[in-house]
Structure 1
Amino acid sequence: MRAWLVLVPVVLVTLIGLPLQWLSLAFRLPTSRTIPLIYHRILLALIGVRVTVKGSVSRQRPLLVVSNHVSWLDIMVLGAQMPLCFVAKSEVGRWPGIGLLARLQRTIFVDRSSRTATARVAGEMAERMKSGDPVVLFAEGTSSDGNRVLPFRSALIGAARQAMGGGADAATIQPLAIAYVGQAGIPLGRPRRPLTAWYGDMDLVPHLMEVLRRGAIDVELHFGPPLDGANRKAATVQAEASARRMLAQALTGRAR
Structure 2
Amino acid sequence: MIAWIRIVSGLALVVLVTIVLLPVQLIGNRFGWKLSWYLPRYWHRIARRVLGLKIIRHGQLEKRRPALLVANHSSWMDIIVLAAVADVVFIAKSEVKDWPVFGWLAVWQRTVFVERERRRDTGNQVSEVGRRLADGEIVVLFAEGTTSDGNRVLPFKSSLFGAAASALDASPEGRVAIQPVALAYTHANGLPLGRYGRPMAAWPGDVELPPHLLAILKEGSVDVHVCFGETVIFDSSANRKLVSRSAEQQVRRMLQKRLYGYEAGRESA
Q: CA deviation at 1:183?
A: 1.1
Distance of 1:190 and 1:110 partners within structure 2 = 32
Distance of 2:218 and 2:21 partners within structure 1 = 23
Task: Name the structure 2 match of 1:50.
Answer: 54
Give yes or no for the alignment of 1:199 onto 2:204.
yes
1:233-248 equivalences in 2 (<5 Å) = 233-248=241-256
Match 2:167 to one of 164, 167, 185: 164
Match 1:87 to one of 79, 84, 91: 91
Aligned identity (percent) is 44
Distance of 1:254 and 1:18 partners within structure 2 = 38
Cα contact 2:153–2:252 (8 A) shared by 1: yes
Task: Name the structure 1 match of 2:178.
Answer: 173
User: Which runs of 5 or more structure 2 residues have no equivalent in the other structure?
Assistant: 264-269
Task: Name the structure 2 match of 1:182.
Answer: 187
Query: Are residues 46 and 254 of structure 1, via their aligned partners in 2, closer, same or farther at CA, if it must alter by over 3 Å?
Result: closer
Which amino acid in structure 2 is aligned with residue 197 of structure 1? A
Match 1:65 to one of 57, 64, 69: 69
Q: CA deviation at 1:169?
A: 2.3
Query: Are residues 66 and 205 of structure 1, via their aligned partners in 2, closer, same or farther at CA, if it must alter by over 3 Å?
Result: same
Match 2:34 to one of 21, 25, 30: 30
**TM-score normalised by L of structure 2:** 0.90
Task: Name the structure 1 match of 2:111.
Answer: 107
User: Which runs of 5 or more structure 1 residues have no equivalent in the other structure?
Assistant: none
Which amino acid in structure 1 is aligned with residue 107 of structure 2? R
**TM-score normalised by L of structure 1:** 0.94
Which amino acid in structure 1 is aligned with residue 164 of structure 2? R
Which secondary structure state, in structure 2, belongs to the residue aligned with residue 247 of structure 1? helix
Cα contact 1:183–1:217 (8 A) shared by 2: yes
Q: Which moved more, 1:228-237 or 1:6-15?
A: 6-15
Q: CA deviation at 1:254?
A: 7.4
Aligned residues between the structures = 254
Which secondary structure state, in structure 1, belongs to the residue aligned with residue 85 of structure 2? coil
Which amino acid in structure 1 is aligned with residue 225 of structure 2? E
Task: Name the structure 2 match of 1:146.
Answer: 150
Which secondary structure state, in structure 2, belongs to the residue aligned with residue 59 of structure 1? coil
Kindly report structure 1 stretches of 4+ aligned residues shifted beyond 3 Å. none
